[in-house]
Amino acid sequence: MSELNLSTDALRHSLVELLMGIIGSPDDEELARTADRAVLSLDERLAGEARTATA
């Protein structure tokens, strides 16, 4: 999955699904890495939107 190509809302939904997956499989390290990338992507996206909104 390429988180960077998703809309912000789709990225949020993806993150929720990933976190639910982690709850179901807490030992799945690949899932955790994917969720980490999604969190970082969403954080970057939201920070960019905030910068744009205040500019």
Mean pLDDT of 47-54: 90
Question: Structurally, how many domains does the chain consist of?
Answer: 1
Read off the DSSP letter of residue 11: H
Tokens representing 21 are 């997956």
Q: 36: domain range?
A: 3-54
Model confidence at 1, pLDDT cuts 50, 70, 90, reads: very low
Within a 10 A sphere around the Cβ of 18, how many other Cβ atoms?
20
Share of the chain above pLDDT 70, in %: 91
Model confidence at 6, pLDDT cuts 50, 70, 90, reads: confident
How many helices (H) and strands (E) the chain has is answered by 2, 0
- pLDDT in the model for residue 5: 60
- pLDDT in the model for residue 17: 96
19 Cβ contact list (under 8 Å, min separation 6): 35
Threshold 0.85, pTM exceeds: no
